[in-house]
């Protein structure tokens, strides 16, 4: 990929991280599969340094596991892993909503920005792109929506934890999302969340997020029950 050769290591790191993340998200790099620095570098036509940095970044996000003297492997999530991550995320999301509403942290501009993000989700879900491309774009908008809320809550540490949890869950859910193809539900769920944020209704906003998260949790847990070795 000749166009990469003119880029700095920093921009290359960003590109390689997204490349690997998308491959994992689409199930093209599967749980337990080894990631070889030299293979990725050769494929992209770049040096191994940015590949190594990207692998370290994804390892810090819980997507890759580095095993001494063996190499780097895509993490394989088990049923217990998925259930635990969902529980933690749910607790933290509830905390964010309470902070945003109780401390009146969302302005009219914030609400309009959130609506714009979800409008883009709707356009993507109804678009003519290939399913895999729509899935990647929707995931990016989903992260953008939730990251906006997390950042408005005012805690950088909370943002980092939630971003990593969110990404791990997206990876854990990828196979089932492919099977159902119900991408437009993502937008509908987020419109419901915005409605309760506008009304400053903590109880129903928390319920909307809980229902959204639980609806995402059930398919991968059901699948993992049928595959005790886990997947990804």
Give yes or no: residues 58 and 164 share one domain: no
What b/e readout covers 80-89, taking b as 16+ CB neighbours within 10 angstroms?
ebbeebbeeb
Structure tokens at 1: 């990929």
Cα separation, 64 vs 35, in Å, equals 9
Q: How confident is the model at residue 104 (pLDDT cuts 50, 70, 90)?
A: very high
Non-local (6+) Cβ contacts of 31 within 8 A are: 74, 75, 76, 77, 230, 231, 232
Q: Looking at per-residue confidence, does 138 or 191 come out higher? A: 191
Q: 118 in a domain, yes or no?
A: yes
- C-beta of residue 99 within 8 angstroms of C-beta of residue 105: yes
Q: What's the pLDDT at 13? A: 87
Q: What is the DSSP string of 23-48?
A: HHHTTSS-TT-EE-HHHHHHHHTS-H
What's the CA angle centered on 85, arms 82 and 87, to 5 degrees? 110
Give yes or no: residues 69 and 84 share one domain: no
Rounded to the nearest integer, the mean pLDDT of the chain is: 84
Last residue of a domain, one of 15, 49, 74: 74
Mean pLDDT within 91-112: 96
Give yes or no: residues 97 and 33 share one domain: no
Mean pLDDT within 180-195: 84
39, 73, 65, 42 alpha-carbon torsion, rounded to 10°:
10
Looking at the predicted structure, is the pLDDT value of residue 66 above 90? yes
Residues in the chain: 232
Mean pLDDT within 97-112: 97
Q: Return the CA Rg of the chain.
A: 18
Looking at the predicted structure, is the pLDDT value of residue 2 above 50? no
Q: How confident is the model at residue 124 (pLDDT cuts 50, 70, 90)?
A: very high
Non-local (6+) Cβ contacts of 185 within 8 A are: 215
Model-level pTM?
0.74
Q: 232 in a domain, yes or no?
A: no
- C-beta of residue 193 within 8 angstroms of C-beta of residue 205: yes
Q: 231 in a domain, yes or no?
A: no
What residue numbers bound the domain in which 210 lies? 79-226
Q: What's the pLDDT at 150? A: 94
Q: What's the pLDDT at 110? A: 98
Q: 97 in a domain, yes or no?
A: yes
| 108-112, 138-142, 186-190, range with greatest mean pLDDT | 108-112
In the chain, what percentage of residues exceed pLDDT 70?
A: 84
Domain count, the chain: 2
Q: How confident is the model at residue 224 (pLDDT cuts 50, 70, 90)?
A: low
Q: What is the CATH number of the domain that holds 219?
A: 1.20.120.530
Mean pLDDT within 60-88: 90
Cα separation, 174 vs 186, in Å, equals 14
Structure tokens at 193: 């969340």
Cα separation, 86 vs 142, in Å, equals 16
Q: How confident is the model at residue 173 (pLDDT cuts 50, 70, 90)?
A: low
Q: How confident is the model at residue 228 (pLDDT cuts 50, 70, 90)?
A: very low
The CA distances from residue 75 to 17, 128, 139, in Å, are 15, 32, 19
Q: How confident is the model at residue 139 (pLDDT cuts 50, 70, 90)?
A: confident
Q: How confident is the model at residue 113 (pLDDT cuts 50, 70, 90)?
A: very high
- Residue 102's Cβ-count burial label (10 Å; 0-12, 13-18, 19+) is exposed
């Amino acid at each position: 990929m000749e166009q990469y050769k003119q880029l700095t290591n920093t921009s290359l790191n960003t590109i390689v991280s997204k490349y690997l993340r998308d491959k994992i998200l689409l199930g093209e790099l599967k749980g337990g599969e080894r990631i070889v620095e030299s293979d990725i570098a050769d494929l992209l036509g770049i040096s191994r340094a940015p590949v190594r940095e990207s692998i370290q970044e994804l390892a810090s996000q819980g997507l890759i596991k580095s095993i001494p003297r063996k190499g780097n492997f895509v993490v394989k999530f088990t049923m217990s892993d998925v259930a635990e991550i969902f529980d933690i995320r749910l607790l933290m999301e509830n905390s964010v909503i309470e902070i945003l509403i109780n401390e009146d942290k969302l302005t009219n501009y914030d609400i309009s920005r959130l609506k714009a993000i979800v409008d883009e989700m709707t356009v993507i879900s109804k678009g003519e792109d290939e399913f895999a491309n729509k899935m990647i774009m929707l995931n990016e908008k989903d992260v953008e929506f939730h990251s906006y809320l997390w950042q408005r809550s005012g805690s950088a540490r909370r943002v980092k934890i939630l971003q990593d949890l969110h990404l791990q869950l997206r990876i854990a859910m990828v196979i089932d999302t492919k099977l159902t193809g119900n991408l437009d539900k993502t937008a509908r769920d987020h419109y419901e969340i915005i409605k309760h944020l506008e009304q400053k209704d903590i109880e129903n906003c928390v319920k909307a997020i809980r229902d959204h998260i639980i609806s995402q949790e059930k398919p991968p847990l059901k699948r993992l029950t049928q595959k005790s070795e886990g997947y990804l």
